[in-house]
Amino acid sequence: MKFTILKDELNESIQHVSKALSSRTTIPILTGIKLDADETGVVLTASDTEISIRSHIPAEREGEIIVTLEKSGSIVIPGKLFSELIRKLPSDHVEFTLLDSHHVLIRSGSTELQMAGLDPEEYPLLPTLREDRMFSISSDLLKKMIRETIFAVSTNESTPVLTGVLWTLNDGVLKFVATDRHRLSTTENRLDGAEGLSFHHVVISGKNLSELYKLLSDQSQQIDVVVSDSQVLFKIDRLLFYTRVLDGTYPDISRIIPQACQTEMVVPTKQFHDAMDRAYLLSREEKTNIVKLFTSGSNTIELSSSLTELGRMTEQIEAESITGQEVRISFNSRYMLDALKSIDSEYIHIGFTGPMSPILVHPREHQRLLHLILPYRTSG
């Protein structure tokens, strides 16, 4: 193996694949980044068995030479050190020469580095996915849907399937669901051209989705998503992002969402969020996060934290409208804050379905994005 590569291109690819580098040294080969060089360019691969990322650096782009190949070959290089070193090299170009199966010579300007690598033959193969179950989604929409649900996944590893987000695709509508049993968030959007494909039980770990999130652009770049029973592959420009699918049966949520509300209110999102944020600060100090909400005839909503050793906070917010019965309910302010942060609309709709039934929160305009929060049992 011998090739010269533009430092900045190499560096960018290293930063991308590094997100999949394993920090555990139980599988030493996975602490490395694999380099494969051939006439099409250089491919970098990193994997921690949960996610795998592959980045292709083309030999040339728009007439600019990026990789000059003298001899094809592969090597696995210790990932963390490699990523720090390449960034700091003095020249715009970096030359790689394989000395023997385990050592590589890296040269850049007046810097010369002999590095012990690992055997590329030992590096695990990435899964091969049949591409018949594939759909496209724009990266900004995918980011939005992740942001709208990911906070509601369970952090409790005793039910692993709940640490993931459930994906379903049916009649061209992609739907995400996340729940930790105390709250539930769900969002759905119609995808053009996905009518022919359907799946009902693909659960992707919240941690893996948050790594994917970091790689996605805020632009409306098209992402191809390939779904198999055990893996999902995201094709992002020159990057391939593989994530494992979680085992286990996701609970049936169809009967959890109540249909009838006893009280409904429309509230300005920002004011409600800011008041909740202050109430949360005080409720957090007592570790329960309990906030009380009540109405009393007018359009004024009162929020209050419980009276504790530290004190008591009350907030008043003017609702746009309140219809139905008076409300007197307690809930987790952190859950409400998380839900509010995911809503862009100027006004939210809050529905109360009973003293021990879920509170429904969604944008005033639609229910494609819907959050459920279970209230606390109140004393008196």
Enumerate binding residues for a copy of itself (CB under 8 A).
78, 81, 84-85, 88-90, 103, 110-116, 271, 274-275, 277-278, 281-282, 285, 307, 309-317
CB of 43 to a copy of itself, least distance (A): 23
CB of 345 to a copy of itself, least distance (A): 20
CB of 151 to a copy of itself, least distance (A): 20
For helices 206-215 and 139-149, angle between their N-to-C axes, nearest 10 degrees: 150
CA distance 352 to 360: 7
Enter the DSSP assignment of 376.
Answer: B
CB of 315 to a copy of itself, least distance (A): 5
Helix (H, G, I), strand (E, B) or coil at 299: coil
DSSP string, 91-154: SSEEEEEEEETTEEEEEETTEEEEEE-B-GGGSPPPPP--TTSEEEEEHHHHHHHHHHHGGGS-
Q: Which two tokens stand for residue 211?
A: 């790594």
Helix (H, G, I), strand (E, B) or coil at 79: helix
For a copy of itself, which is the closer residue by CB, 156 or 300?
300
CB of 316 to a copy of itself, least distance (A): 4
CB of 10 to a copy of itself, least distance (A): 16
For a copy of itself, which is the closer residue by CB, 20 or 282?
282
For a copy of itself, which is the closer residue by CB, 65 or 81?
81
For a copy of itself, which is the closer residue by CB, 137 or 340?
340
For a copy of itself, which is the closer residue by CB, 337 or 369?
337
CA distance 291 to 214: 33
Helix (H, G, I), strand (E, B) or coil at 179: strand
For a copy of itself, which is the closer residue by CB, 165 or 275?
275
Give the end-to-end CA distance of the chain in Å, rounded to a whole number.
76
Instruction: Give the number of other Cβ atoms within 10 Å of residue 5's Cβ.
Output: 25
